[in-house]
Chain A
Amino acid sequence: MNRIAQTFDEALKNGRKALIPYITAGDPTLEMTKRLVVELAGRGADIIELGVPFSDPVADGPTIQRASLRALQAGTTLRAIVQTVAEIRQQARIPIVLMTYYNPIIAYGIPAFCWEAARAGVDGVIVPDLPPEEAGDLTAACREQGMASIFLVAPTSTVERIRLIDQHTTGFVYCVSLTGVTGARSRLAEGVEDFVSTVRAHTTHPLAIGFGIATPQHAAAAARLADGVIVGSAIIDVMERSPDADGLVTRVGEFVGSLREAF
C-alpha cells in the first residue's frame, strides 16, 4: 500500500478526515515552497498537493493562473520541483503529490520522471488533463515506482465513467465539487451532497473533495461528505494578501490551522 492510501487508512481509523492543502511550487520561489510545506505539515495537513506551474493551465481559474505565472517567471521547472521534494524530505515526512498538467511530464520523459520523482520522495501524481483512457503509460510507470496516480471525477461524470476512474485511480478519488475550474467560491457547490453520494455508491477508494472550497465552514461541510478535503486557491489568496515572506508563512499556517480545527 502506498503512503497516500496509508494516510487515509490511518485517518479513518482515528475517526478524522484528511486535510490536503495545495500550493503552487515555486510561487514565489522554491525556497518558500520548502518553508511552506514544513509549516503546513506542522499545522495538521495530512497530504500536501504541490502544483507544477504550466503555461496553459486550462483547469485553473485566475488565482492559480497567477500563481503559475509567478512560479514560471521565477524559473521553476518540474526538474527543480522534484529536487525540492528531495530537499523537503530531509525535514518532513508528510506525503506529497504533484498536481501537474501532462506536457511537462512528456517533456521530462515518463519513465525518467517517475523514477526520479519516486526517489525524491514524491508519493503520487494528479494530472488534470489526463483522463484514464490516455493514462496507460503514466499509470504503468507510476505503479512500477510505487507512486499513486490519482484520477478526478466531476459532477458531469456518468456512472460508467465513475466506475472506470475508480478502477484506474490509486490512493484516492479526487471529487471535483463543481462544474468548472479551480478557484475560491462564496459557497459550496449546489448538489455536491448528491454528487458525492453517487460517487461513493460506485467507488471503492477514499474520496477527497476539491475545487471551490474557501473557508473553514466549507471545509467542514465537505469533510462531512468525504474522507478528505483539498483547499488550494483560498491558500493562494492568503499568500497574495501577505505583505512579506515571514508574514506569508505565518498567515498561511494560521489559515490551514483554522481549516484543521474546523473538522
Chain B
Amino acid sequence: MSSVTLPDAAGHFGIFGGRYVPETLMSALEELTAEYERAQRDPAFQEELRYYLTEYVGRPTPLYHAARLTDTLGGARIYLKREDLNHTGAHKINNTIGQILLTKRMGKPRVIAETGAGQHGVATATVAALFGFECDVYMGTEDMERQALNVFRMRLMGARVIGVESGSRTLKDALNEALRDWATNVRHTHYIIGSVAGPHPFPMLVRDFQSIIGREARAQILEKEGRLPEALIACVGGGSNAIGLFHSFLEDASVRMIGVEGAGFGLHSQHAATLGKGAPGVLHGSMSYLLQDEHGQVQVAHSISAGLDYPGVGPEHSYLKETGRAEYTSATDDEALDALQLLSRTEGIIPALESAHAVAHAMKLAPVMRKDQVIIIGLSGRGDKDVQSVAKYLEKRGQGSGIRGQEKQ
C-alpha cells in the first residue's frame, strides 16, 4: 500500500496508529470517523472550510524566499512556508477550523483541547469563539508559566484554561486530562486533538486538514522555481506541521523530508527526541514511538519549546521513519536559540521556538548544499509567545538581554 493511501480502515500506518482507548470513547471515535467521511464527500463542507481558511485564516500563506538567510548561510536557496502569518500565528488553526466544522455537524455544543505551547489552545479558543461553542483547554501548569501570554489570549476569547498539576505538568499530562474529560462528557463534547497523534481517526483527519501547507508549498515552489525542492525541513513534536508540509511531496522521491525533534540539553541528557531515541509503544490512543523506560513507563521529555516537549509522536511519522521515506534528526535548546536569533536578525522574522528547531537544522544543511539547490522550511509559528522565555534563557547563557543593539550603547 502506498503511504499516500494510508491509514487503512482501522487507522493503521503499518504497525503504527490504531485505536488504543477506553471502551467509553470507542463509539465516539466511530461516529467521528463516519462524520468525517461524509464531510469529505460533502461539497458544502469543503466550501465552508475553504471559505474560512481564505477569509478568516488568511490563506494561502506566502512561500517566502529568505534571501538574506540564504546569503548568510552561503548554500542552498531557502524558502520559508509562512504558517506564522496565519490568523493566531501558527499552523494550528488549519486543523481547528476543520474540526470545529465537524463538531457543528455532529451537533455537540462543547469542545475541549490540550495544549503545550498554547498555540493549539489559542487556535481552539479562537474557533470556539467564532462559532459560539463552550471551550475548555487543558494545559500543564509548567507550560502555563512558560506561555503566560497564550493563557491570557485564550481567556480573552472566552475559553476556560484548566491547569494540570499531574505528572510533568506539560503537554503529555494535559492530554491525559483531556482524554479523561472526554470520557466523562463524550456525549456532548468533541475533543479537538491538536496534533497528528491520538486514536484513529485523529492522525488521519488532522493530517488531512494540515496537508494544505504542503499542497500550497508544492504549487508555489513549482511556480517560483519551476521545479521541486531538494529538501523539506520541519520541526516535530506531535508532528502536525511536518506531516502537513510533507504529505503532498510523499510521492516525489527526489524530495528529502527531514523532521527535527527537540534535543533539549542533548541526546545523552534530557530531550524530546522520540523518534531518535524512543521505542514503539502505546500512549494516548495509538501505537507509535515513545520515550519510555525498560518497564514501559513513559518518560518525561524536555525541550526549551513547550510545543516539542512531548514523549510521543504521531504514528505516521513512526511509519515514515520505518520505511525510510522521511529522516528524523534533532536540534538542541541552544541550537534553537541561535537559530531564532539568526532568523530574527537576517530576515526580521521572529520564529516560534518550535519552528526555530527547523531553522537550526537548515543552518547545518544549507551550507553543504549547492547554491542552485532549494530548501523549504516549515515556519510553523511566530515567536511572540516566546520572547519572555527567550530573554530569560539568553540571560542565563550570558548574552544579557540578548539584544545586540543594547550592547553597543
Contacts and interface: CB of A to CB of B under 8 A. Distances in A.
B397 interface: no
Contact of A131 (B19, B185, B186, B280): B19
B176 interface: yes
A129 B298 contact: no
B281 A181 contact: no
B21 A56 contact: no
Contacts of A156: 23-28, 186-187
Interface residues of B, number: 38
Contacts of A131: 19-21, 23, 26
Contacts of B292: 103, 107
B298 A55 contact: yes
A101 B180 CA distance: 15
Contacts of A58: 21-22, 176, 179-180, 183, 284
Interface string B25-39: 111101000000000
A247 interface: no
Contacts of A105: 296
Interface stretch (A146-154, A216-224, A249-257): A146-154
Contacts of B368: none
A186 B28 CA distance: 27
- Among A102, A108, A129, A130, the most chain B Cβ lie within 10 Å of the Cβ of A129
B399 interface: no
A69 to B, nearest CB: 8
Given A106-B281, A156-B27, A128 B296 contact: no
B296 A154 contact: no
A61 interface: yes
Contacts of B166: 65
A208 interface: no
A234 interface: no
A133 interface: yes
Interface in A51-93: 54-59, 61, 65, 72, 77-79
Interface in B292-311: 292, 294-299
B173 to A, nearest CB: 8
- Among A61, A65, A179, the most chain B Cβ lie within 10 Å of the Cβ of A179
B172 interface: yes
- Interface residue SS majority, chain B: mixed
Contacts of A128: 22-23
A156 B180 CA distance: 15
Contact of B22 (A59, A79, A103): A59
B381 interface: no
Interface in B271-300: 280-285, 290, 292, 294-299
B58 interface: no
Given A54-B297, A78-B295, A154-B22, A103 B183 contact: no
A57 B177 CA distance: 10
Interface in A20-66: 54-59, 61, 65
A2 interface: no
Contact of A103 (B28, B184, B186, B281): B281
Contacts of B238: none
Interface string A120-163: 00000000111101100000000000000001111111100100
Interface in A203-238: none
Given A54-B297, A102-B282, A179-B184, A129 B167 contact: no
B222 interface: no
B20 A129 contact: yes
B298 A56 contact: yes
Contact of A130 (B10, B20, B28, B184): B20
Contacts of B172: 56
A77 B26 contact: no
Interface of A: 54-59, 61, 65, 72, 77-79, 101-108, 128-131, 133-134, 151-158, 161, 165, 176, 179-181
4 shortest A-B CB distances, which residue pairs?
Answer: A107-B296, A180-B184, A104-B296, A154-B24
